[in-house]
């Protein structure tokens, strides 16, 4: 069985979309894959209850309890490793990871970012796209490297930016695409077991 470990910080709607896809598209039968655990850096992350309701192991590693990023990432890696991950999926995980963590999971660490990378890495992507006068926006699924919101692009989806958009309306349109794209990108990764992902 290929083990997927999903890291979240909040509502976990992308995680929920992935959970739905594993069940609807029978990832266990088709790919020999399952979601082994959902891990959050926040105890109050809404997604934890949904994961538990689907019989998925949940873990909390509260970043505030650690003095440094390195100490947090070490504790996080210990929890993640306990689930023997073949793929680690960042789904709205809002912590910057240390190079040590990223290198440990090189080639099996993916992220979703709500912009058309390499445009608008970082925060406030939707407002920045509106302010820049972009006519399209979108979402990117990419492999994680030590540079924030960079790394080989696995999949993208595009949405229009409408004249009366606010950051919130644009975010909603992008999020609907995220829920389609992320499960599809992960399924593609699982299907293509022969793909040799470059290590960084």
Sites of contact with ligand GAR (CB under 6 A): 8, 10-14, 91-92, 112-114, 175, 178
Q: What's the CA gap between 15 and 122, in Å, rounded? A: 20
For residue 96, the minimal CB distance to ligand GAR (Å) is: 9
Contact 171, 146 (CB under 8 A): no
Q: Toward ligand GAR, which CB reaches closer, 36 or 139?
A: 139
Q: Toward ligand GAR, which CB reaches closer, 32 or 122?
A: 122
* Of residues 130, 135, 117, the one with CA closest to residue 168: 130
Q: Toward ligand GAR, which CB reaches closer, 5 or 8?
A: 8
Strand residues in the chain grouped as ranges (E):
2-8, 33-40, 57-60, 87-90, 109-113, 136-143, 153-160
For residue 29, the minimal CB distance to ligand GAR (Å) is: 26
Q: What's the CA gap between 13 and 142, in Å, rounded? A: 18
Q: Toward ligand GAR, which CB reaches closer, 140 or 190?
A: 140
For residue 165, the minimal CB distance to ligand GAR (Å) is: 15
- Closest residue by beta carbon to ligand GAR: 92
Q: Which tokens go with 128? A: 């920045």
Q: Is 113 a catalytic residue?
A: yes
For residue 145, the minimal CB distance to ligand GAR (Å) is: 14
Q: Which of 54, 63, 83, 113 is flagged as catalytic?
A: 113
Instruction: Output 50-55 pairs: Cβ under 8 A, ≥24 positions apart.
Output: 50/12, 50/15, 50/16, 50/19, 51/6, 51/12, 51/15, 51/19, 54/19, 54/23
- Catalytic site positions: 113
């Amino acid at each position: 069985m290929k083990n997927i470990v999903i890291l979240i910080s909040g509502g976990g709607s992308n995680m929920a979309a992935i959970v739905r896809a594993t069940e609807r598209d029978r990832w266990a039968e088709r790919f020999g894959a399952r979601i082994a655990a959902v891990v959050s850096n926040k105890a109050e992350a809404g997604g934890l209850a949904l994961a538990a309701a689907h019989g998925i192991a949940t873990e909390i590693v509260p970043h505030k309890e650690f003095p440094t990023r390195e100490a947090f990432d070490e504790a996080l890696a210990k929890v993640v490793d306990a689930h023997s991950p073949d793929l680690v999926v960042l789904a709205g995980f809002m912590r910057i990871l240390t190079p040590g963590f990223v290198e440990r999971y090189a080639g099996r660490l993916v992220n979703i970012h709500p912009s058309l990378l390499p445009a608008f890495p970082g925060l406030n992507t939707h407002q920045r796209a509106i302010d820049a006068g972009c006519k399209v926006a979108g979402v990117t699924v990419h492999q994680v490297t030590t540079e924030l919101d960079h790394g080989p692009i696995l999949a993208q989806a595009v949405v229009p930016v409408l004249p009366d958009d606010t950051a919130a309306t644009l975010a909603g349109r992008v999020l609907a695409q995220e829920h389609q794209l992320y499960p599809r990108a992960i399924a593609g990764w699982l299907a293509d077991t022969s793909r040799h992902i470059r290590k960084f």
